[in-house]
Amino acid sequence: MGHNSMIGYFAQNQASLLDQDLTVFETIDQIAQGDIRTKIKDILGAFMFSGDTIDKKVKVLSGGERTRLAMIKLLLQPVNLLILDEPTNHLDIKTSFLHGDFDEELYISNLKEPRK
């Protein structure tokens, strides 16, 4: 690991660390910086938060929704190395299904020979 490595860690209980009194949008609005702030709704949509869902309080979200929200927060941090400790433990069925495709691609990409 290089001296410029900035590590982001996704703990198994990461979703439980969210502020329960904020809305989905407010949670991400607090962390987003710079030009990305204009894309908050797009980012939330990419993680299946759309319409009225972005105005829901964190405390009423399902475990899967909270996990996705916590993942967005981590991805908006200025890190270049992510360590994920079983991030799919609390995902809902729909998200787990989508993650299965991604997980397979990630696993396969890690097995490929490095480019020279």
Q: How far apart (Å, rounded) are the C-alpha atoms in residues 104 and 59?
A: 32
pLDDT at 83: 82
Q: How far apart (Å, rounded) are the C-alpha atoms in residues 5 and 51?
A: 37
The string of DSSP letters for 85-107 reads SSTTTT--HHHHHHHHHHHHHHH
Q: Name the token pair of 6.
A: 């900035």
pLDDT at 95: 53
pLDDT at 44: 94
Domains of the chain: 7-111 (3.40.50.300)
Contact 6, 81 (CB under 8 A): yes
Q: What is the mean pLDDT of each run of 10 residues along the chain (116 residues)?
A: 82 91 96 91 92 96 91 88 70 50 42 45
pLDDT at 87: 62
pLDDT at 107: 41
